[in-house]
Structure 1
Amino acid sequence: MAVAVADPRFLPFFESATAQTATAVLVTAILAPVVASWVLKRAGGLTVHDPVAASASVRRLRRTQVRQRLSA
């Protein structure tokens, strides 16, 4: 709207530009995570059974459980 107010020649394009911008934002918000996940999986960046990540998360979980028991 600011551009259309600054230069009235753009006023006829205001509605279609708003719709195009909204569509681009929605498509990007939906497709970007899907495409990024797909690329990372194909490149080997996302693995479900990563022993290092699994052992670190298990250690974190155990520490949390021990702290909860000590504070109780």
Structure 2
Amino acid sequence: MPNRRPKLEIVAPSASPEEAAAVVAAVERFLRDHAPVIVAEPPRPSPWQRAALLEGTGREPDAPSPWGDPVRWG
């Protein structure tokens, strides 16, 4: 995954190199600490498993399922 963070640089005549480096380090740490967490999508249930559950419980495929499926399968 490419690094999408901008390269931070302070251009101020009044800041010493140590001060500028400290500010840049603080901003980079802030960005790293507050970056959104990438969460992997949970694995989708198998359509075969769903069909077996529907058949085993006597439900119709087009009916809402008791397992909380927000979107119809298939």
Q: TM-score normalised to the size of structure 2?
A: 0.30
Greater relative CO, 1 or 2 (CA 8 Å, sep 6+): 2
Give 1 or 2 for the bigger CA radius of gyration. Answer: 2
Q: TM-score normalised to the size of structure 1?
A: 0.30
Structure with the higher fraction of residues in helix conformation: 1
